[in-house]
Amino acid sequence: MFNHIQKRSLLDMNFFSHLFGKKTTNEDTSMKYLIVGLGNIGAEYEGTRHNCGFMVLDRLLKSCASEKSEKPTYVLDRHAYRAEVKWKGRTLILIRPTTYMNLSGKAVQYWMQKEKISLENLLVVVDDIALPVGKMRMKKQGSGGGHNGLANIEELLHTSNYCRLRIGIGNNFGQGHQIDYVLGPFSSEEQAQIDPLLDRAVEAVKAFATLGPDRAMNMYN
């Protein structure tokens, strides 16, 4: 038989074990982020306007690995090329979906579930014809704006309440030529504007993970 003191000690041990065990799990989850770059796989799509999401992730991977002897790289995994980097105590899971743009939600849904990442720790990097070249905008929610990749993510997640970083590619195309435009490369003049924007986008992603979306938006929008 337990006496009163033994019972109380056992209850206290169980309470603190449960408390600290739960806290550790929550902390680990809250420090993990899924950063999704939208684009199309294949050499024919490299460097095209529609692949701005891939471009930002590639620069982010290089930036986070610059001071490490072992350089992280993408590994082909289910529905995506995946890489993992650390930044100021945060774990960033980077994915480049292999589903092609219109089925991007399949990769996002799978990796959110596999990595147990909450919706507020999801950031999707995407091109946007509604923004001029050289501009970007982070938003905590919103419609797909006619972007098929975002539309598919919203369809499979059943919500549009996730953060996205839109990279402006402009809309300098005639009627009926939108597909040719977004699947085409940047002009030399546009590239001069895009290069510094991609670097700025990398810093915005880092701020999202370390400072939160509100402060990141204030700093980079």
Q: Note the pTM of the prediction, 2 decimals.
A: 0.85
**CB neighbour class for 202 (10 Å; exposed up to 12, middle 13-18, buried from 19):** buried
Tens of pLDDT along the chain (221 residues) come to 445 444 454 445 444 444 444 444 444 668 999 999 999 999 999 999 999 999 999 999 999 876 565 678 999 999 999 999 999 999 999 999 999 899 999 999 999 999 999 999 999 999 999 999 999 999 999 887 789 999 999 999 999 999 999 999 999 999 999 999 999 999 999 999 999 999 999 999 999 999 999 999 999 99
111, containing H or E segment: helix 104-115
The two tokens of residue 29 are 């989850």
Cα–Cα nearest to 105, from 62, 57, 66, 156: 156
31-220: in CATH 3.50.50.60: no
Sheet with 90-97, side-by-side order of all strands: 75-77, 80-87, 90-97, 32-37, 122-128, 163-168, 136-139
**Cα distance between the two ends of the chain:** 66
126, containing H or E segment: strand 122-128
- Name the DSSP class of 84: E
pLDDT of residue 28: 64
Q: Where are the domains of the chain?
A: 31-220
CA distance 4 to 56: 62
Which residues does 171 contact at the CB level (< 8 Å), separation at least 6?
129, 130, 178, 181
For residue 23, give Cα distances in angstroms to 18, 33, 88: 8, 18, 20
Q: CA geometry: angle at 123 spanning 53 and 81, to 5°?
A: 55
Q: Strand runs (DSSP E) across 19-105, as ranges?
A: 32-37, 75-77, 80-87, 90-97
Q: Which residues are catalytic?
A: 50
173, containing H or E segment: none
Which residues does 118 contact at the CB level (< 8 Å), separation at least 6?
29, 30
CA distance 189 to 133: 10
